[in-house]
Structures are given as structure tokens and as C-alpha cells.
Structure 1
Amino acid sequence: MTLPLLSPLQGAALRDAGVPPPFAFGQADKVRFHELDVLDHVNNARYFSWFETFRIAYLRHGGLADYAETAERPVLVLKSVGVDYKAPLHLEDTYVVAGRTRAYRRTSFTMEYGVWSDGRLCATSQAIICLMEADFVTRRALPRSYIDLFQTQDGATFEG
């Protein structure tokens, strides 16, 4: 199957790529030479870049962040992230990064990600993202638009 690279994947396109529910949004790409390590598989640090690329597309697609320079622009800070590697990826493998917001709190949300190639789960990840004021000190409450998207698209729950 040929997937559109770095374009939103949803619904049937995600399922056809082997991404299971509850993931509702993803994007595909191909492994490039500069992403390989000396063992000829994707270097572990590249996954963090893939998750970031996905996260920006997810936020833009959901209308939550456009990354325009404005005084009201929310500052999203990655508080923590971890990866569990399941299977290697190699040069020119096509993969899909899918993710969702699993839970949210007053000023932060927890995302989970997966990387699939030919229906095989290659890596999983979880990240906590905080919403901050421009001073990078004061936490900012999640706007209702964030919570609505997290609940309706991803089935996220509040973690009090």
C-alpha cells in the first residue's frame, strides 16, 4: 500500500495501515539515510523527532496551535517523554506515527504514540505536555477547545 507522506491519516486510512483504535489521527513517512545508526536501523533519538513532528501536525489539525507569533500564543512545554522500542526500522521503510491524548489535567495533557510499519508495532511512547504562559514559569489552564478535542477525537479522560 502506498501512503501519502506527512499528510493527515484518519479513519479507514489508519486502519488500512495497521493502526488500531483508539488512535484517530496519524501520518506516514519513510525512513531516510540520515536517520540510521551504525547498525543500519533507525537511531533511537530519531523517534523523538518523529513524535514532535506528529505532535505539531496533531495540534495544527485540531486547530489548537498554529505556531504564529502572537501575544496570546500558548507555550507548550514537553515535561517528560519516554519510548519503548519494539522492532527496528530500516532504510526506506514506510511507517505511520499515530497518537492521541489519553488524559488531561488542569494545565497539562498526556499523549501516547505508536509507530507502525506494515501493521507491526515498532515503538510506543508517552509524553506529558504542559501549557505555560510566555514567562515559561506560570502554568496556563487548558482552554475548552483543547479539552473538547481531547474528549471527542481521542476519548481522553480528566485525571484530577
Structure 2
Amino acid sequence: MGFTTARMTLIYHTPLTREDLRAQNVPDSWPFGIADRVHYGDLDTNSHVNNAVYLKWFENIRVQYFQAWDILKFQAGEPRVVLKSLAVEYHKEMFMNEDYVVAARTASFRNTSFRQEYAVYSGDLRVTGQAVIVMLQPDAPEKMALPDALKQRFIQVDGATAG
């Protein structure tokens, strides 16, 4: 399933190309995004998207981002990534059957953690968020240094900065 614009048909739940993202008014600084549509179960008693649903959308894109960029395969023996904090800012309501794109990028990183940013676009910006994610040893609660290759990927693809 997807939705059609003047230029294209988007496929839901699949990473979009940069061209697809630009066609949906997602700025070029966002390298990764997926499309979907607001469902009835996403609504609250005011008939707009429930605030907590955006957290689910951010979690979904975070997992797809990790898998698409080969950061985490969710297999035994791999480093673990855990969510340390999450913040959300609501800009404009969303309603039933609105098509949207949720986008993700890594904005900055430190030795053992990185800060991701999220945005929801439906013609215009609706919601933004950010999360701090920590990398842990595969079988222990100790923090683990981010691999240099991952840091380089954050810099080259997402435009992330150290610090």
C-alpha cells in the first residue's frame, strides 16, 4: 500500500530514497525515512493522533534505521543499544487517514552514545523528537565504545558531529 503524489507512489513501511523524501517535503538533512498512514488505533478521544503513538513511530523507525544501516541485527553476541532518554515536541495535530513520513538521523555522538533526531512530516512538519542511545557490551551492563566505522557512517551519511 502507498499513497500517490503528483510525482510518485510511496510504499509504506519501506525505507524511502532521498528523492522520495524530498518529494514529500522532507528537507535534505534527513537521510532516512519511512511512510505510513494514520490508523484508527492511533487516535485519542479528541480524534487526533495520541501523543504516545509518536513514541511508537520513533521506535519503529529507530529499529528500521539500525537494520538498514547494519548497526544492529538483534542477534546474540552483538553489542546492545539502549534508550537512555527521549524528548518530543508537538508542532501540529494529525488526524485519521493522513499520510505521513517519519524521518531519522544521528545528529551527534560521543564515545559510547549517540543522539538521534526524529521528525514527522505530512505536507509540513508535525512532530520532532530526539533520543540518546547508549551502546552496551553484548553480555554485560558496561558501556561499549562506538566502533570507528559507525562514527564515520554517522558523519558521512547523517552529517553528525562528535561531542
Alignment TM class, shorter chain as reference: over 0.9
Q: Report Cα offsets for 1:39-74 as digits up to 9, x if no partner.
A: 000000010110010011111111111112x22x11
Instruction: Point out where structure 1 has 5 or more consecutive residues left out of the alignment.
Output: none
Q: Could you tell me how far 1:11 is from its partner in structure 2? A: 1.3
Contact 2:135 2:144 in 1 (8 A): yes
For this pair of structures, how many residues does the alignment match?
156
Q: Could you tell me how far 1:112 is from its partner in structure 2? A: 0.7
Determine whether 1:16 maps to 2:20. Answer: no
1:34-45 aligned at under 5 Å gives the runs 34-45=41-52
- Which 10-residue stretch deviates more, 140-149 or 124-133? 140-149
- 1:50 is aligned to 57
Return the letter of the residue paired with 2:159. G
Q: Could you tell me how far 1:21 is from its partner in structure 2? A: 2.0
Contact 1:30 1:95 in 2 (8 A): yes
Determine whether 1:110 maps to 2:115. Answer: yes
Equivalent of residue 141 in structure 2, options 134, 137, 140: 137
- 1:31 is aligned to 38
Determine whether 1:90 maps to 2:100. Answer: no
Q: In structure 1, how many angstroms separate the alpha carbons of the residues matched to 2:139 and 2:106?
A: 25
1:39-78 aligned at under 5 Å gives the runs 39-68=46-75, 70-71=76-77, 73-78=78-83
Instruction: Point out where structure 2 has 5 or more consecutive residues left out of the alignment.
Output: none
Equivalent position SS for 1:56: helix
Q: Could you tell me how far 1:135 is from its partner in structure 2? A: 4.8
Q: In structure 2, how many angstroms separate the alpha carbons of the residues matched to 1:14 and 1:58?
A: 15
- 2:106 is aligned to 101
Contact 1:51 1:113 in 2 (8 A): yes
Contact 2:120 2:127 in 1 (8 A): yes
Equivalent of residue 80 in structure 1, options 66, 85, 88: 85
Q: In structure 1, how many angstroms separate the alpha carbons of the residues matched to 2:104 and 2:64?
A: 11
Q: TM-score, normalised by structure 2?
A: 0.92
Query: Identity rate of aligned residues, in percent?
Result: 39
Q: Which runs of 4+ in 1 moved over 4 A?
A: none
In angstroms, what is the RMSD of aligned CA positions?
Answer: 1.1
